[in-house]
C-alpha cells in the first residue's frame, strides 16, 4: 500500500478554498497528514478530539514528537522528569491512537544529535517509553549514516523496531543526511521530501528560513525517480507513506498530486471534495 500526504493542512491553496474548513477539505484529497504543531506544543484534548471528528475513519495523522522529547529543549521548564514529559504527550494522543488514526510518531532529531553512545542509549529509552506504538526516526547529523556507522545504524533500527525515514534534502555540511532507501520496519516505510533548496537549507544569509528552506518545486523527472523508489520500498514494507514538506512556495500539494498520478493511486474513503479540482 502507498499513501501520500503533506506537512500540515493549513497552507495548501491548491486544494483548499475556505478559511475555516481546511482540515476537512484536506481530508478530501489525501489520507494522511504530518502533524507539525505537536513539535511546538502538546495539543489539548479538545483539539485532538476536534481533529478526529473532522476526518473520515481511514484518515491518519503522523504527529511529530514534542521538542522536549527530541532534545530540542530541556524538559525542566515544564516537567519534573523526562518520564513525565513522555507520559503527558502520550496521554494527549491516546484518543487518536485508540481510533487507529495514528500512522506513526515522528522523532526528528536536531543536527547536534550525533551518533554517539549516549544518543544511541537515548533512542533505546525513547523506544521503551513509546512501548509498542509505531515510531519513525529522522536524523539530521550525517554521522548516523557515515561509512563507518551506516550498517550498524540500520541494524540497530531494525532490532529496536524503528522506521527509518528516507529523506530527500539538500546535502549541506552539518544538518543533512544522505538518502538511505532502506526499510527497517516491515510494517511501514516513510519517504519525507524536503526539496533541494541548498542555500535555504544551509541557512547562511537567510532572513526567514520558514519562507526559504523548503522552497522547491520538484520536476517531473525527479518525481518519476521518487515513484520508482516508492515501488522499490513497497517490495519490503506493507505500507510506504510519502510526505511532501516542500511547501515554502506552496509546491507540496501540486507535487503530491503529480506523484499520485504517476503511481496511478486512487485513495478511497476520504471526505467529499468541496470542489473537484482534479
State the alpha helices, DSSP H only, in 136-267. 150-160, 198-202, 209-212, 220-234, 252-263
pTM, two decimals, is 0.92
pLDDT in tens, the chain (278 residues): 999 999 999 888 888 777 678 999 999 999 999 999 999 999 998 999 999 999 999 999 999 999 999 999 999 989 999 999 999 999 999 999 999 999 999 999 999 999 999 999 999 999 999 998 999 999 999 999 999 999 999 999 999 999 999 999 998 888 889 999 999 999 999 999 999 987 777 766 655 666 677 789 999 999 999 999 999 999 999 999 999 999 988 899 999 999 999 999 999 888 676 555 44
Q: Report yes or no: 180 and 150 within 8 Å, Cβ to Cβ.
A: yes
- Over residues 136-187, the pLDDT tens digits come to 999 999 999 999 999 999 999 999 999 999 999 998 888 889 999 999 999 9
Phi-psi domain of 195 (left: phi exceeds 0; alpha: psi -120 through 50; beta: other): left
Q: Where are the beta strands (DSSP E) in the chain?
A: 2-7, 32-35, 60-63, 105-108, 135-138, 163-168, 189-193, 240-244
List, in sequence order, every residue forming a beta bridge with 33; answer none if it has no partner. 6, 61
Domains defined for the chain, CATH in brackets: 2-263 (3.20.20.410)
Residues in the chain: 278
Phi and psi, residue 149, nearest 5°: -110, -15
Amino acid at each position: 500500500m502507498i499513501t501520500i500526504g503533506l506537512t500540515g493542512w493549513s497552507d495548501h491553496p491548491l486544494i483548499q478554498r475556505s478559511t475555516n474548513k481546511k482540515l476537512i477539505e484536506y481530508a478530501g484529497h489525501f489520507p494522511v497528514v504530518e502533524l507539525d504543531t505537536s513539535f511546538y506544543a502538546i495539543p489539548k484534548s479538545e483539539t485532538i478530539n476536534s481533529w478526529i471528528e473532522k476526518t473520515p475513519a481511514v484518515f491518519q495523522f503522523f504527529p511529530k514528537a514534542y521538542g522536549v522529547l527530541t532534545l530540542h529543549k530541556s524538559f525542566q521548564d515544564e516537567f519534573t522528569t523526562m518520564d513525565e514529559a513522555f507520559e503527558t504527550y502520550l496521554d494527549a494522543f491516546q484518543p487518536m491512537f485508540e481510533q487507529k488514526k495514528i500512522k506513526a510518531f515522528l522523532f526528528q532529531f536536531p543536527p547536534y544529535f550525533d551518533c554517539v553512545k549516549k544518543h544511541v542509549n537515548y533512542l533505546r529509552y525513547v523506544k521503551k517509553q513509546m512501548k509498542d506504538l509505531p515510531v519513525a526516526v529522522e536524523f539530521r547529523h550525517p554521522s548516523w549514516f557515515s561509512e563507518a556507522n551506516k550498517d550498524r545504524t540500520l541494524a540497530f533500527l531494525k532490532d529496536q523496531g524503528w522506521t527509518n525515514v528516507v529523506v530527500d534534502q539538500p546535502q549541506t555540511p552539518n544538518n543533512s543526511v544522505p538518502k538511505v532507501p532502506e526499510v527497517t520496519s516491515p510494517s511501514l516505510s516513510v519517504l519525507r521530501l524536503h526539496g533541494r533548496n541548498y542555500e535555504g537549507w544551509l541557512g547562511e544569509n537567510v532572513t526567514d528560513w520558514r519562507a526559504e528552506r523548503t522552497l522547491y518545486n520538484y520536476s517531473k523527472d525527479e518525481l518519476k525517480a521518487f515513484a520508482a523508489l516508492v515501488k522499490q520500498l513497497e517490495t519490503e514494507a506493507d505500507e510506504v507513506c510519502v510526505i511532501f514538506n516542500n511547501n515554502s512556495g506552496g509546491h507540496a500539494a501540486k507535487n503530491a498530486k503529480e506523484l499520485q498520478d504517476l503511481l496511478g493511486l486512487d485513495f478511497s474513503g476520504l471526505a467529499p471534495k468541496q470542489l473537484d479540482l482534479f
